Amino acid sequence: MDTVIALRPATGWRLLAETAHRHRRDLVRLLLWSLLEAGPTLVSGALVAAALDRGFLAGDLATGLLLLCGYAATVVLGGLGARQAVLPLAGIVESLRYDLVERTVRATLARGVVPGESVDGRSVEGVTKHTEVLRMLLSQLLTVLRTAVFSLVFVIAGLFWLAPPVAWVSVAATVVVIVVLATTASGWQSRVREALLAEERLSGTASATLLGLRDVVAVGAAERATADLTADIDHHARAVNRVGRVVAGRVAVLALGARLPLVALLLTAPAAVSSGVLTPGELLGAATYLVGSLDPALRAIVRVVGDIGLQIGVLLARIQEYARPPAHPEPAPTATTTGGRLVLRDVEFAYGASAEKILDGVDLAIAAGERLVIVGPSGAGKSTMANLLAGLDRPSRGTVTLDGVPVADLDRTWPHRAITLLPQEAYVFSGSVRENLAYLNPGVTDAELARACAAVGADELVEARGGLDGRIDAPNELSEGQKQLVTLVRAYVSPSRVVVLDEATCHLHPERERRAEDAFAATGRTVVIIAHRMSSAMRADRVVLLHAGSPDVGTHQELRSTSPLYADLVGYWHES
């Protein structure tokens, strides 16, 4: 994946072009004001020359100062241009940043709700760090480029006015520099990309090795790991040095190009002045253009177009990777039902064809209103079971239906939401307490919420947060247990007839856990509990024990006497 990004940065520029197109009026305004901003460059040499020839060298201080004041006036105008150029620039840059953030956020969350797509924290980095850097680079690019390009044009125009032969040399030098740097650009860029790839490879190897640091030390593999990493480190160092050599060559060409016109001026000046072709003032003016404007402008353009352009390309490509919409978006399911009878028929589940089957041939009918508890050792497929029951995953064979409708086809949105799944990791967001509690049922009344809080035991918590209008500014203000209480209330007021609690009470005290589980059962809904503690199983109508092979199903008493694994999980000496 990273390989693709680093090798094809051009794709990212499309994002930029789209924003630029929407802001084309801003772009035009930016160009016009930049023209004014670069104005002082056009007249700098000419006015300095005139100030010398007609003023200071002619013994006329007033004229000299007046002409310099004229230059100062153009500087003030240029400042106005600089001032007016800021807002169009800001509009473009900030819109681009927002566009990228929006695309990334939309695509990340859209991918996150499609099975088989992976979403990780790097998207967050893409949204914040990369867009911020990109915004700074882009404003640098636009700021430097617009003034430098106009400066370059104006310097050459000014030189044509003062000393045409030097102007011709400047044009030739500029063209040579640009042509040489442009033709070597692809070689330079591909070396930079190779260096980036080498760095990514190193950081991938290093990441895997450090993640397994305990294992590397424990199996005595420090030498092997060091050898692997040394190879990557050396590869990276060589790639970077290759970049260095190209950069050195490019710097030499640039420096040569920027200084050649000055050398030409110096070599021809004595003859030109003595023959009267060039006045002393014009000589100074031309030198001012060359030293003060041509050299910096040329360097700025090369730096900006080369380094910053390359960095922007890489960042854009990376952001585009995070802003990639899901490959196979799922249409929102629309079937509805109000029943509560869940049936699993010959269900098999595996993540991929060659992977080990997590569930194999599971047959189970859960009656409407039943309290079913699922237990098993870790890795036995409990969360897979929860996902299948809630319709988040489809079985690789067999069916899971609610009142005859495949659960994966059921509408999950309010008000049709047929099944509510509460995962272990409680999702609480910054907002009001009411918003958080009514998440699954926006139409719920305050009275219903109050009853629900009392039923699952969240009333103290809501009171402590300042009632339903209280704020939760940062979810981390709440403990894990408090977050679970919030989600329990949420599920309690949800319109669903089926509730799946996937270790959703694991951070609660056992007594509170019992109260919450009993409250759900008392509503007459079908309640499936993936148990974190065995005590949940003792309160169940029936217990499903998952393990390799087909699961055991029965009451707590039955399983304790028939299943050694179940007895083991419960701790068998209790009865002996």
Assess 575 for contact with other proteins (CB under 8 A): no
* Among 9, 12, 423, 551, interactor with other proteins by CB under 8 A: 423
Report 151-190 residues binding other proteins (CB under 8 A). Answer: none
> Dmax over Cα atoms in the chain, in whole Å?
121
* Beta carbon nearer to other proteins, 431 or 524: 431
Instruction: Name the nearest CA neighbour of 185 among 238, 237, 243.
Output: 243
Assess 113 for contact with other proteins (CB under 8 A): yes
* Beta carbon nearer to other proteins, 11 or 95: 95
Assess 460 for contact with other proteins (CB under 8 A): yes
Q: Which residue stretch of 149-157, 166-174, 306-314, 505-513 sits at the interface with other proteins (rule: CB under 8 A)?
A: 505-513
* Beta carbon nearer to other proteins, 10 or 61: 61
Task: State the minimum distance, in angstroms, from the CB of residue 535 to other proteins.
Answer: 6
Q: Which residue stretch of 166-174, 311-319, 455-463, 518-526 sits at the interface with other proteins (rule: CB under 8 A)?
A: 455-463
* Among 3, 190, 241, 338, interactor with other proteins by CB under 8 A: 241
Query: Going by C-beta distance under 8 Å and a sequence separation of 6 or more, which residues neighbour residue 412?
Result: 332, 333, 391, 418, 419
Report 139-158 residues binding other proteins (CB under 8 A). Answer: none
Assess 136 for contact with other proteins (CB under 8 A): no
Give the strands of the sheet with 359-366, arranged side by side. Answer: 359-366, 342-349, 397-402, 405-406
The two tokens of residue 242 are: 């290759």
* Among 203, 550, 555, 561, interactor with other proteins by CB under 8 A: 203
d(CA 32, CA 345): 72
Assess 266 for contact with other proteins (CB under 8 A): yes
Burial of 437 (0-12, 13-18, 19+ CB in 10 A): buried
d(CA 508, CA 530): 14
* Beta carbon nearer to other proteins, 292 or 470: 292
* Among 276, 331, 378, 575, interactor with other proteins by CB under 8 A: 378
d(CA 72, CA 68): 6
Task: State the minimum distance, in angstroms, from the CB of residue 465 to other proteins.
Answer: 11
d(CA 413, CA 79): 57
d(CA 111, CA 62): 73
Assess 240 for contact with other proteins (CB under 8 A): yes
Are the C-beta atoms of 432 and 471 separated by less than 8 Å? yes
Assess 48 for contact with other proteins (CB under 8 A): yes
* Among 351, 495, 523, 554, interactor with other proteins by CB under 8 A: 351
* Paired sense of beta strands 419-422 and 498-502, if any: parallel
* Beta carbon nearer to other proteins, 73 or 175: 73
